[in-house]
Amino acid sequence: ANHIEAVLCVEGETELTNDETGEKHLITPGTMYLLDGHEKHTLRPRVDSRFVCVFNPPVTGREDHDAD
């Protein structure tokens, strides 16, 4: 299934890199980002960080992240 993932940073500081373009973004508390096209990305925490993630439609735990 194709899911949209909304991610909210609630603590810490993390660098998000778009692996396809190399574009980098600093993620800090209050920052929200959306993944809606299976974007390949990497998170590199600068300090301990916490996030809240919401998937729509909800995930069941049986998803395959490598599936088309």
Predicted structure pTM score: 0.80
- CB-side exposure of 15: number of CA atoms within 13 Å? 7
Question: DSSP E strands: which ranges in the chain?
Answer: 4-11, 14-18, 24-27, 32-35, 41-45, 50-56
Q: How far apart are CA 45 and CA 61, in angstroms?
A: 25
57: cis peptide before it, omega within 30°?
A: yes
Instruction: Please write the tens of the pLDDT for every residue from 2-48.
Output: 789 999 999 999 999 999 999 999 999 999 999 887 789 999 999 99
Q: Enumerate domains of the chain plus CATH numbers.
A: 4-56 (2.60.120.10)
Q: How far apart are CA 13 and CA 37, in angstroms?
A: 24
